Chains A and B, each alone.
Chain A
């Protein structure tokens, strides 16, 4: 039997209010005036690797297709180079919307398993929380272990290069007032999420 896939999007798939929620994040209100011109995708250097172009992500967000957006790898491929934000004729801050989507995906734990980018973000987060600074080499090693340990094998030559040039620093970078920082970072646990923001200049 030949399998013929059927693609139609029913209203039941929409998570009503998702678009409005994302747009209520500071800096993201302008999405409401997107005219789908495609400038963002045209200028985005990573758009050729995304399963949904930035423009399509914006359309899906506005249409409340939460699952499709958060499960998409596209949002993780954003390198936050801000080219789209600067070129958008409607002055929509697309990069900031991508950040909001990333935050949402991590919060709800919806992201592809063993996908390196969210894993890197979480490891970064943990290291900063505990040490206050990042030791790059250690971070990368943790990333490889958790996401793709085979990558360690393929980058051994680079590792040797780093040692040779003295850039392979293993000393833990840490700040003195670590508990102070932890206290600061945990102080907002009872705050409601921000809902309004003046139009960004």
Chain B
């Protein structure tokens, strides 16, 4: 990075951008340029339509070469947008990139004011401040921070699995941490997936096995992230591994211990079958679980709760000794460079809308419950039956349950129209029942989805456009006796209808996980008003967050279907890989440093640093700041009683001259 000082003089180039009409529409750019031209040290003062464009940048480069500029000021938009662009231009013109100062006269001036005279005066004052300041800039070098090559993926659903496999196949070491005893997420519970109706297990289980087999993936299930410290490229994560009371390395998943358990039958609601069947205290989540390892529920196991049990499970595992009641929770610390959060969603609790009778009428079920009924490996072996064992002759689907509703969740859950149509087709196929879907809108974007809607119509599913207000069990006509009655306005036909059905399926919407707030704080992420994790930019950066090195993928960012979740997972993996393969990030040199001759060794600064970047040098007994850990927050600079700590890019004379520029005239 060459500096370019001719005869020791400061030679400043000032450029004000019109930004099309954005700035020039309110600020008189020519007047600003003419005012700045008169300032001491200013060699050239130009106004131009689009400074960030190639010709605009070339102006800067040319002036540095031809006019021997050694300082550059650009008054245009937000530094968040183009500071890097202009710094790059300055550097390619042969000048150290930090001899540059940017002034925001768009977001801070033209976009928020309407009075032309006042706005121009403000632009002049801000520009003057920058011109005065830039004199005191010095040549700085960026610090390179190495990126640790390992990645942490949080959440073992389809998004987490895909991200982990993509990274692992590229040779990166991945820690995949999943809270449930098995990976697979919600997708493992599905029967067939829309719009192709291929079997969810058939496409998911190979990926789950691949995770298990991949040498680069360390799979930690039944584990949660407890603490995250550090910053991009250098995270220290503490993972809490919950005790399964079964040794993962010894268990082969033969399940003889489950057979032998003193509980002869399942007694507790089976989580995988969403409560439609029962399991024992010792169980394996589902037959294709990865890892194929048994888990013991400490809340329900007799031995763990009372200490008094025959422990027939241990007998059954006599040759492998995999069961270990002495297992304890383990806290493991790992170092990673990037984190991908793919923690998924939870379903809306249908009990919150008592009008639909969930929990009151036994034959009102949710979409996920029907999903388990329809699956051939489910609790009823694929038979769609009601709770009393009868096969329904008429089934109604109620869409938008807990979605698009100001009283519960305002958003559209995006997948339930397609999901409901899929279930409707499967119910028709399995039972031949009359199926009616009550909807507000049918949302079927995506490849093959409109065709799927068409197939639903061809399958003879009745669609009634009318949001259901309530489900009742009192009859007005003989045909309604003993059935659940839906009264809704068929808005398209323009008439109120009463439709009696045997079974009702509620298409419950998606919501952020119950502990989403706690999780996002763990990873220093923001969330939107609806509770979904916040992406850095809704269009341009959907998988990045405002914290460098932390990425999001899948439904934790917002409701979406499987193809979109996988796309986001791949995108997040690519973003992480970009950082890892580059190997370093260039840290802004706005770090603090100690002028040792002024430091008295009082140690006031040491405990103040949130990044533990300050230490006391044993030999000199003076404070020392680690530039790679320092994030430039300025706390120590302000606190130092002897004023011996300074900060690059925020030196005292830089700041005071800026203040002078704003307040004085000419």
Contacts and interface: CB of A to CB of B under 8 A. Distances in A.
A and B touch in the complex (CB under 8 A): yes
B467 A37 contact: yes
Given A37-B467, A47-B496, A55 B489 contact: yes
Given A87-B355, A90-B406, A39 B491 contact: no
A92 B488 CA distance: 18
A53 interface: yes
Contact of A89 (B406, B465, B496): B406
A90 B467 CA distance: 12
A92 to B, nearest CB: 9
A48 interface: yes
Contacts of B490: 38
Contacts, number: 56
A201 to B, nearest CB: 13
Interface in A138-152: none
A40 B407 CA distance: 15
Interface in B462-476: 465-470
A43 interface: yes
B469 A43 contact: yes
A42 B466 contact: yes
A89 B404 contact: yes
Interface string B486-516: 0111110010100000000000000000000
Contact of B407 (A43, A53, A56, A89): A89
B440 interface: yes
Contacts of A89: 400, 404-407, 467
Q: How large is the interface on A (under 10, 10 to 19, 20 to 34, 35 or more residues)?
A: 10 to 19
A35 interface: yes
Query: Which secondary structure dominates where chain B touches chain A?
Result: loop
Interface string A154-170: 00000000000000000
Query: Which secondary structure dominates where chain A touches chain B?
Result: helix
A42 B407 contact: no
B468 A42 contact: yes
Given A87-B355, A89-B406, A39 B469 contact: yes
A77 B496 CA distance: 16
A41 B489 contact: yes
B491 A38 contact: yes
B600 to A, nearest CB: 60
Nearest to B465: A38
B496 A48 contact: yes
A55 B494 CA distance: 10
Interface of A: 35-43, 47-48, 53, 55-56, 83, 87, 89-91
Would you list the 8 A-B pairs with minimal beta carbon distance, nearest first? A43-B469, A41-B489, A37-B467, A38-B489, A89-B405, A38-B466, A42-B488, A42-B469
21 contacts: A35-B440, A36-B491, A37-B467, A38-B466, A38-B488, A38-B489, A39-B467, A39-B469, A41-B466, A42-B466, A42-B467, A42-B470, A42-B487, A48-B496, A53-B494, A56-B494, A89-B400, A89-B405, A89-B407, A89-B467, A90-B406
